Chain A
Amino acid sequence: QKEVEQDPGPLSVPEGAIVSLNCTYSNSAFQYFMWYRQYSRKGPELLMYTYSSGNKEDGRFTAQVDKSSKYISLFIRDSQPSDSATYLCAMSSTGNYGQNFVFGPGTRLSVLP
């Protein structure tokens, strides 16, 4: 089993739809959870960062973490064509030399006008 698995996509939705992006993980040592947005041939941009289980909201974006189920989600409300990108989940745990980061393979999202 891979350490982090992510819905493979690609995902196409109409403008205004609610989007749900999901990741599962196997390592219970992960403490910090992140979502990145990556436009084509650009570096990943940090969207959301959470610690521990629960929800965190920022504008149209909501990050949800369920540590008991080892499951995280990113919800996008009122999706816009500008949200079309690849979304990467990431998580980290504390190692001997600092944080160890693991990234999901990404889900490509297209929001159609």
Chain B
Amino acid sequence: SAVISQKPSRDICQRGTSLTIQCQVDSQVTMMFWYRQQPGQSLTLIATANQGSEATYESGFVIDKFPISRPNLTFSTLTVSNMSPEDSSIYLCSVEGGNTIYFGEGSWLTVV
């Protein structure tokens, strides 16, 4: 299994601002995934990030709102732009391994 570190673990943000979440994996991986989990809800895939190419976004998520970088095989960032209270969620970085998926500790964002 991979060890996935996320920063920040939690933050309180003002509406209209942007925040970048960092994800570091302890091994090289081809694909990294970003999920959102809104309060009391299950996991929703935001996008898949491959190194060296643009991220692939799921329906309902756009690059202007959630820009993603993937500069190398162990690191990715997700930015939540122009935040509103509806963006208050846990944001999770994950990687695939052995036909299963592993998650970071998550970044819990509250937008006020």
Contacts and interface: CB of A to CB of B under 8 A. Distances in A.
User: Which bucket holds chain A's interface residue count?
Assistant: 20 to 34
A99 interface: yes
User: Which bucket holds chain B's interface residue count?
Assistant: 20 to 34
The B interface, classified by DSSP as helix, strand, loop or mixed, is strand
A47 to B, nearest CB: 11
Interface stretch (B12-20, B69-77, B79-87, B93-101): B93-101
B94 to A, nearest CB: 8
A103 B42 contact: yes
A97 B50 CA distance: 11
A98 B90 contact: no
Interface of B: 1, 4, 6, 10, 31, 41-43, 45, 48, 90, 92, 96, 98-106, 108
Given A43-B105, A88-B42, 15 more contacts: A31-B99, A32-B99, A41-B106, A41-B108, A43-B6, A43-B92, A46-B1, A46-B101, A46-B102, A49-B99, A49-B100, A92-B100, A97-B48, A101-B101, A105-B41
